[in-house]
Each structure stands twice: as structure tokens, then as C-alpha cells.
Structure 1
Amino acid sequence: MSKSSYALYHKVHCPYCRQVIAAMKTSNVVLELRDTEKNLAFNKELIEQGGKKQVPCLKITENGQESWLYESGDIINYLNKIA
């Protein structure tokens, strides 16, 4: 059985981030929310590990492997797929 976890890097006032959070709530997929404005460590992690400062960004960890998904539409499609 695979072990998966998800973290959404976001900013409170970003309309694209709000769309992803709304989709998360309707899909019942549990995401850890990481506000990159309130916590600079999350911002640094996003840039250093994800490769860019863009939000929203979904960090997907599956079986110890990490991948980073950008673009709100792509993230919403992914959430709907795994719901």
C-alpha cells in the first residue's frame, strides 16, 4: 500500500490559491496548508525544493518520492482524480 501526503503552498490573498482550497474542501482530500507569506521557512522550501516561488503549488509525496505540481487548474484536476 502506498503512503501519500500532500502540502499546498499558498498565499491567503491569491485568488488561484483560494480556488484550489475550495476544490480541496469539496474533494475531501486532506492537504497540509503552508502559507508562504506567514512562514518564511515554507517560502524558502518552495523555492529551494520546488524550484520556483510560484503559488499555488502542491507538493506530492508518494512512497518517499516528492514531486511539485504548479498551476491551479492542474492541481484541481489532480485533486479530483485522487478523491
Structure 2
Amino acid sequence: MSKSSYALYYKVHCPYCRQVIAAMKNSNVALELCDTEKNLAFNKELIQKGGKKQVPCLKVIENGQESWLYESGDIIKYLNKIT
């Protein structure tokens, strides 16, 4: 059985981030929330590992493989697919 974990990199005042958080609550997917404004370490990780500072961004770890998904619509489709 594969172990998956998810972290959403977001900013509180970003309307696209709020859309993803609402979809997350509707889908009952447990996500770690990483506020890139309050915690600069999250912002640094997003840029270094994800490749850009754009939010929202979903970090997905599946079977030990890490991937970064940008664009709110794509993130919401992904959340719907895994529920």
C-alpha cells in the first residue's frame, strides 16, 4: 500500500488559494498548510524545490517521490481525483 502526503503552500489573501482550501475541506483530504508569508522557510522551500514562488502549490509525496503541482484548477482536479 502506498503512503501519500500532501502540503499546500499558500498565502492567506490569495483568492486562488482560498478556492483550493475550500475544495480541500469539501474533499476531506488532509493537507499540511504552509503559509509562505508567515513562515519564510516555507517560501524558501517552495522556490528551491518547486521551482517558483507561485501559490497555490501542492506538494505531493507518493511512494517516496516528490512532485509539485501549481494552478488552483489543476490542484482542485487532483484533490477530486484522489477522494
Q: TM-score, normalised by structure 1?
A: 0.99
Which residue of the partner structure matches residue 30 of structure 1? 30
Which residue of the partner structure matches residue 54 of structure 1? 54
Q: Distance in 2 between matches of 1:68 and 1:44?
A: 14
Q: Secondary structure at the match of 1:25?
A: helix
Q: Secondary structure at the match of 1:52?
A: coil
What amino acid maps onto 1:13 in structure 2? H
Q: Secondary structure at the match of 1:66?
A: strand
Q: Distance in 2 between matches of 1:56 and 1:72?
A: 6
Q: Distance in 2 between matches of 1:69 and 1:27?
A: 17
Q: Distance in 2 between matches of 1:71 and 1:18?
A: 12
Displaced runs of 4 or more, over 2 A: none
Q: Secondary structure at the match of 2:53?
A: coil
- Structure 2: tracts of 5 or more residues without a match: none
Deviations 1:19-54 (A, max 9, x none): 000000000000000000000000000000000000
Note if 1:73 corresponds to 2:46: no
Q: CA RMSD, aligned part only?
A: 0.3
